[in-house]
Amino acid sequence: MGKPLFYEIWEKPATSCIIGICSLIWLYIQKKGIGYSHVGLSYATAMEGHHWRIITSAFSHISILHLVFNMSALWSLGVIEQLGHVGLGVEYYLHYTLLLVVLSGLLVLAMYHLLIQKFKIDYFRRVTAVGYSCVVFGWMTVLSTKQPSSKLELFGFLSLPISFAPFESLVFTSIIVPQASFIGHLSGIIIGYAIAWGLIHGMNNYWAVSMLGWIVLVFIFSLKKSGTYNFNFLEIESVTDPSLPSVRFLASGNGRTLQMSTSADVRPSLV
């Protein structure tokens, strides 16, 4: 007989919170009729200054099956929070989840840039990615390296050896779900190996809080500069070099506007 659900939630507090956040965002997206082009990450929108999409794309899911698959895998990977005795644990999980969200998104853009500029495959300019799979694949990879004897449980009945799970899942999703982002999943695996092998290391509470602060600042400034959201208390003016903005705080007002840029040629990609 398995453990009661509330006990498992207690053992996986960070995982439970992330699943709750992604589920609430999915409900909000469904209620407001928001689509891929509103929250997803693409090369074209990133070049237009929509850097905030690196964050929104990671936590957004459009279809219920996409959400269920990602959250089921994430729930199984929450065992990482209980492995403090092998150098993992809750703090490690939170610190490197933050890195996985940002670095996997940046790596996706870098791969798109290479494919577009070097190989002239313009198709990837408007491929729009959404979903938490980059992070899920990253944690699969970390767990397969740190605890190769573990199992990945999906939907409560499907069990995969974690040592093969990253690449098994990469091939499986690419075949079964044609819209699945091979590049997004591969980016998560690459960052996961970089973390597991110690190529990316040294995260602690100080660096995590500092990084979170910078993420919030860049998120707000990119929302403002891209014209997506009008923060009346904040004005960004160009100086001698237009690429280096200066920031000025103004008296706050009541008027706020929300704009969502859409593209007629958007190719959704599930990550």
156-186 tens-digit pLDDT: 667 778 888 898 888 888 787 778 899 999 9
Q: What is the mean pLDDT of residues 218-238?
A: 79
Average pLDDT for the chain: 86
pLDDT above 80: residue 258: no
pLDDT in tens, 74-95: 999 999 999 999 899 999 999 9
Higher pLDDT, 154 or 109: 109
- If you compute the radius of gyration of the chain from its CA atoms, what whole number of angstroms results? 19
- Give whole-number Cα distances, 126 to 48, 123, 133, 249, 268, in Å: 12, 7, 19, 34, 9
What pLDDT is recorded for position 144? 95
Tokens of 173: 């999703």
What pLDDT is recorded for position 191? 98
Confidence of residue 198 (pLDDT cuts 50, 70, 90): very high
Burial of 91 (0-12, 13-18, 19+ CB in 10 A): middle
Residues whose CB is less than 8 angstroms from the CB of residue 149 and which lie 6 or more positions away in sequence, other chains included: 162, 163
What pLDDT is recorded for position 163? 81
Q: Which residues are catalytic?
A: 133, 185
Measured distance CA(136)–CA(58) in Å, rounded: 10
Measured distance CA(237)–CA(269) in Å, rounded: 35
